[in-house]
Structure 1
């Protein structure tokens, strides 16, 4: 059964978007906010559209401005659908993550190249009715976005980790020590709560998706003590937010406007059972 296309108000177009949290609410110039409805409900909050380095950029507060959505309740499908309806084709996704290896301490910037899904119960496809759509997801992130992010970070003085595997857990709780040690034993390097299904939904809409992961803590199985606390995560994130925000702006400036990556061709030869915006 086909679903209706999104209802979108008259709004400025943007070709690039940032999905992020606190610290990114005021990094755009000449901002306009728009409310968008989608076949999957409203996004996390009003979408801010503004200018950054001469480009039109949309921003979605992933958890809502008041942080009302825990990771497992974020309206991921609505967020990505709304961005595409505005013309967005490239997405940058900064987030706080835990480290599963002592070599990636707090303050480390990582740009992973692989993802493991350990969530449960999250809607993670647009194509669950009408026809089966099987997309390639062997490499979950945009190769161009990753290359630009790593190179830009190095130029800005970071020592970024190029590659690695992000395991996404259901949350909102942190991992037990046993879970954390099991993840590390698989060779996975980062753990977070929001990177899935964002990445796969972006691929289903033929969007480029690039993660920018800031390590805020060593996960429970890596460091002895009381384990991960929200206070620690917020403290490390706040200490690095200005630098991370500047990096996102530099990546926005550097990303090529014309896409020649596989992401843009992810739906080639397929007929999705719903009309895309």
Structure 2
């Protein structure tokens, strides 16, 4: 009888955990499907086109997860060509309630050293391409109806960020709890004049993929947080090497285990929190800010 009761309790726990499903958007070097158990590959399409790659579904500590390689598993999609709308829509349709994203970023501040982890809390949008559409409500056939004037403060989910803080402290992983990311178009890096201008604006790190990903995730009603890994000092410093692909990838590979350890530990911690009210408030906020045609 005792064994039967244990099985029933375990089944209830699994049922509760299934209500939370976490999408993991892996950037450069953080798209390894081996972090998932019982993984399966699933090809999907969306009203906004195909996502960057197949979805890899599976589990981390009995929590349902979906892994998506932002740049494709072959890393053949440059930042400006990522179909961000399809990526977020696919994760939402798969049942995700949360997204944890990883981003390689350059440091714009001396105290954020290469190899440091930054839990991003704000962004400055420096995109210039019209290809990166920042809303699902674009008036096209088959897309959501209306115009969404989305409030973006806070841009990132504060409750999810708090979970990351708690987990990082338990794991004794040093993190910067705040950081404003300057999102540039890419794929080129900044000039020194640009880099110094971004520092004057209050930028802490610089990257190419945070926007419109965070915007679309919020519009989709998903709790989104981003773990940034500083790989370099961009090009603003008077001494030291300037940013280049070889150094970026070397620093990322040296620290990828630390970031992976953090993200995989965050998944069950998210599932252990109560999310019904925060998710409802987010969805109610979006609904309140969609203007329907008269």
Q: Give TM-score, length-normalised by structure 2.
A: 0.85
In the alignment of these two chains, the number of paired residues is 263
1:187 to 202, 213, 217: 202
Aligned pairs for 1:89-128 (under 5 A) are 89-121=97-129, 122-128=132-138
1:15 to 21, 25, 42: 21
1:157 to 172, 192, 206: 172
* CA deviation profile, 1:117-153 (whole Å, cap 9, x unmatched): 1012221111121532111112100011111112211
Runs (4 or more) in structure 1 with deviation over 2 Å come to: 21-24, 222-226, 256-266, 268-273
- Which of the two has greater helix per residue? 2
Helix, strand or coil at the partner of 1:267? helix
Maintained 8 Å contact 1:202/1:209: yes
Write the distance in 1 (CA, Å) between the matches of 2:284 and 2:219: 10
Write the distance in 2 (CA, Å) between the matches of 1:58 and 1:167: 27
- Residue 43 of structure 2 aligns with which residue? 35
Helix, strand or coil at the partner of 1:233? helix
- Residue 3 of structure 1 aligns with which residue? none
Write the distance in 2 (CA, Å) between the matches of 1:145 and 1:39: 28
* CA deviation profile, 1:185-206 (whole Å, cap 9, x unmatched): 1111010100000000001111
Distance 1:222 1:257, change over 3 A: farther
Quote how far apart the aligned CAs of 1:86 are.
0.6
Write the distance in 1 (CA, Å) between the matches of 2:256 and 2:282: 29
- Residue 287 of structure 2 aligns with which residue? 268
Helix, strand or coil at the partner of 1:201? helix
RMSD between superposed Cα atoms in Å: 1.9
Q: Which runs of 5+ in 1 are unaligned?
A: 1-11
* CA deviation profile, 1:102-129 (whole Å, cap 9, x unmatched): 1000111111211111012221111121
Distance 1:51 1:40, change over 3 A: same
- Residue 70 of structure 1 aligns with which residue? 78
Helix, strand or coil at the partner of 1:268? helix
Helix, strand or coil at the partner of 2:254? helix
- Residue 147 of structure 1 aligns with which residue? 162
Moved more, 115-124 or 254-263: 254-263
Q: Give TM-score, length-normalised by structure 1.
A: 0.90
1:258 to 275, 284, 289: 275
Is the radius of gyration larger for structure 1 or structure 2? Answer: 2
Write the distance in 2 (CA, Å) between the matches of 1:259 and 1:74: 31
Q: Which runs of 5+ in 2 are unaligned?
A: 1-17, 140-144
Distance 1:223 1:14, change over 3 A: farther
Aligned pairs for 1:217-232 (under 5 A) are 217-232=232-247
Write the distance in 2 (CA, Å) between the matches of 1:56 and 1:212: 20
